[in-house]
Amino acid sequence: MNLIKLILGELATNCYILETGNGEAIAFDIGDGAKKVIQALEAYHLQLKAILLTHGHYDHVAGVEAVRKITGADVYIHEKDAVMLESGQANLSWQLTDDVYVPVTEYHTLRDGDVLQFGNCKIQVMHTPGHTSGGVCYLTEDMMFSGDTLFKGSVGRIDLGGNREEMLTSLRKIASLEKNYQVYPGHFDASSLDAEKKSNPYLRSFS
């Protein structure tokens, strides 16, 4: 499956577009850069079927409603972060931008263990709170979309509505995975789970 990476907005948020067969695709996180996402879909002749959100902070959801309106894609977010789609106060847009946040009011909520199917792509939802209460990682084949839970060599902040104990529990959960997933985080470069178990100080103690 072809994976397209876009870097959106002032906070350089990673948006991933994953082809799922038959000219269709899904996207993981859409920050402030809806136009760039639409241009990529057109360039690759893809129809966007779904937008999967790793969490609800503004820099990961700013462009969701604009893209949803154009493509008709379904939006998915964990139930504990759903309020962030509807409220600029909750998603911290008031801290991160002077732009007016456009709320998303049509979406589906997720829980830990949910499995989604899009074309040839089966996606497992793994609830990984810590950065936010509704943070998730998405697992599919050999790929992990880790949002702001796990970065290359680091982890997400917990001072923006997060929780340290929840983050530690989530990292322990990730470290227990046996498969060597390719890790595609919400910011910065990709890595592999085996590499993070060996070199990431936040994961190493659980490995």
Residue ranges of domains in the chain: 3-204
* Residue ranges with strand state E in the chain: 3-8, 13-21, 24-28, 47-52, 74-78, 108-110, 115-118, 121-127, 136-140, 143-147, 150-151, 154-155, 182-185, 191-192
101-117 pLDDT, tens per residue? 999 999 999 999 999 99
Query: Mean pLDDT over all residues of the chain?
Result: 97
pTM: 0.98
35-79 pLDDT, tens per residue? 999 999 999 999 999 999 999 999 999 999 999 999 999 999 999
Any idea how long the chain is? 207
What is the pLDDT, as a whole number, of residue 1? 80
Q: Check whether 98 has a pLDDT greater than 90.
A: no
Specify the CATH number of the domain 3-204.
3.60.15.10
